[in-house]
Amino acid sequence: MLKTTKSNKGSLTVELSLLLPIILVAIALIIFLSFIMYQHVYLTAVVNSAVNRAAVIWDNPKIDFVTGIVTEDRLKTNLYLRENLDIKENLIRDYIESRLEKFNILNTVSSDIEIKFMNYFIYQKIQITVHQSYASPTGAFNRFFGAGETFDISIQAHALAMEPEQFIRNIDFLRDKVDVAAIREKIDNYLNKQSGSSRK
């Protein structure tokens, strides 16, 4: 057993009372940061999954968005009928919202889902951006220092969407335009030769 002198009898209690709040705040901070990291990784996984699934169903929205299976009842309509972009956007939005509600561990204050379809003539690009605001557990403490009561996580993902029928139409259109330009150039050359020979 250690012998203590009268001069340092209470020093252990004072040191522990000063050190314990720092240790508790550090532990709470580590736990909160792990929650933020989990939420960031989960949000990234949901957005990447949604954009990849959107690329799969791009040319046929009758495919089940979650499983990727085309069932017999979904084959009753014409597969080559071009679907409205609103239908595709609603499928994507519903998928993201259902996934975000499932395993969200932080209190969501606001959520914004932005879906863009960009047509580059030869291919299409789908871009999904999800921006979420979360309530900070240190809201009152943040107010004291003039910081916000929420923190934001924003994730963006994109994928190329292939629509074979539209791709073939675009290539045919492009080839026709090139052919027309080549024919026009040949006609202009012929007319220039004819006008040059008529002047002689």
Give the pLDDT of residue 11: 72
Same domain for 85 and 156? yes
Measured CA distances, 151 to 3, 40, 142 (Å): 52, 12, 11
Using pLDDT thresholds of 50, 70 and 90, give the confidence band for residue 156: very high
Q: How many domains does the chain contain in total?
A: 2
The range of the structural domain enclosing residue 152 comes to 18-162
Residue 57 has pLDDT above 60, yes or no: yes
Residues 28 and 84 in one domain: yes
pLDDT computed for residue 73 by the predictor? 63
Q: Give the pLDDT score at 82.
A: 52
Task: Please check whether residue 127 lies inside any domain of the structure.
Answer: yes
Q: Residue 81 above 50 pLDDT? A: no
- 130-139 pLDDT tens trace: 999 988 777 6
Establish if 37 belongs to a structural domain. Answer: yes
- Residue 85 within any structural domain of the chain: yes
